[in-house]
């Protein structure tokens, strides 16, 4: 599987965020998108996720499922955690697992993998920022999607959480997935660097 973008240009609010951007990533490979604040890292991920329409350029996923679009084969982990405070941890995860569909794993196992199984019945409103992030990560595990688009994935995670997430990313790459992550911190896995915006 190979994800490639050619000559991408993104315009938001009349301002050019980035242009002439080429990128590619193949199965088992991670791409770390770095750059200063406002360089367009989040915009790039949202373009890849199909949530923004690029002003120019094209995105292609080769050797993926021909029936599905890139967005339908991708997980997007954004700044916002997509959790409902009124629902319990388990209800939140079960909903996304059922709604996203496809190849799914047992929700209990996924909660255990992110060390949240003790809080399964707690309303999500009571979770800390780090725990909310862990629950979002459990969503990536519960439904299999080959492409992971991660926006600052390790923000709010403690040291143990970061180590846990590095392990999960390694497993994902080893199983033939690919990762594109916008990050300020080192990802902790072997990743190619895609530098955006301004002088380094």
Binding stretches for other proteins (CB under 8 A): 12, 46, 49-52, 68, 71-72, 74, 76, 78-84, 86-87, 91, 94-96, 98-102
Q: How far from each other are the two terminal CA atoms of the chain, in whole angstroms? A: 30
Choose among 63, 62, 41: nearest CA to 52. Answer: 41
Nearer CB in complex with other proteins: 81/152 = 81
Q: Between residues 78 and 161, which has the closer beta carbon with respect to other proteins?
A: 78
Rounded Cα distance between 9 and 6, Å, is: 9
CB of 20 to other proteins, least distance (A): 22
Minimal distance, residue 9 CB to other proteins, in Å: 16
DSSP character string of 79-136: SS----TTSBHHHHHHHHHHHH-SSB--HHHHHHHTT-GGGTTSBGGG--HHHHHHHH
Measured from the CB atom, the residue of 103 and 159 that comes closer to other proteins is 103
Q: Smaller CB distance to other proteins: residue 84 or 195?
A: 84
For residue 10, give the 3-state DSSP assignment.
strand
In the complex, minimum distance from the CB of residue 12 to other proteins, in angstroms, rounded to a whole number? 7
- In the complex, the smallest distance separating the C-beta of residue 186 from other proteins, rounded to whole angstroms, is 25
**Between 129 and 160, whose beta carbon lies closer to other proteins?**
129
Tell me the sheet residues that pair with 3. Answer: 25, 61
- Rounded to a whole number of angstroms, the minimum distance from the CB of residue 145 to other proteins is 10
β-strand pairing of 2-12 with 15-26: antiparallel
């Amino acid at each position: 599987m190979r994800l490639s973008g050619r000559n991408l240009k993104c315009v938001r609010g009349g301002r050019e965020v980035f242009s002439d951007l080429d990128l590619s990533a193949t199965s088992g490979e991670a791409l770390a998108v770095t750059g200063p604040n406002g360089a367009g890292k989040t915009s790039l991920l949202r373009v890849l996720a199909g949530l923004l329409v690029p002003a120019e350029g094209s995105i292609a996923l080769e050797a993926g499922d021909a029936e599905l679009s890139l967005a339908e084969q991708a997980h997007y982990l954004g700044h916002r955690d997509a959790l409902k405070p009124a629902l319990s941890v388990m209800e939140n995860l079960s909903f996304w697992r059922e709604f996203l569909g496809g190849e799914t794993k047992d929700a209990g196992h996924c909660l255990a993998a992110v060390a949240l199984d003790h809080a399964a019945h707690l309303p999500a409103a009571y979770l800390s920022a780090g725990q909310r992030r862990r629950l979002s990560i459990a969503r990536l595990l519960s439904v299999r999607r080959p492409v992971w688009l991660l926006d600052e994935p390790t923000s709010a995670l403690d040291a143990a959480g970061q180590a846990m997430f590095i392990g999960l990313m390694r497993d994902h790459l080893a199983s033939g997935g690919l990762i594109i992550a916008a990050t300020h911190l080192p990802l902790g896995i072997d990743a190619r660097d895609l530098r955006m915006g301004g002088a380094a």
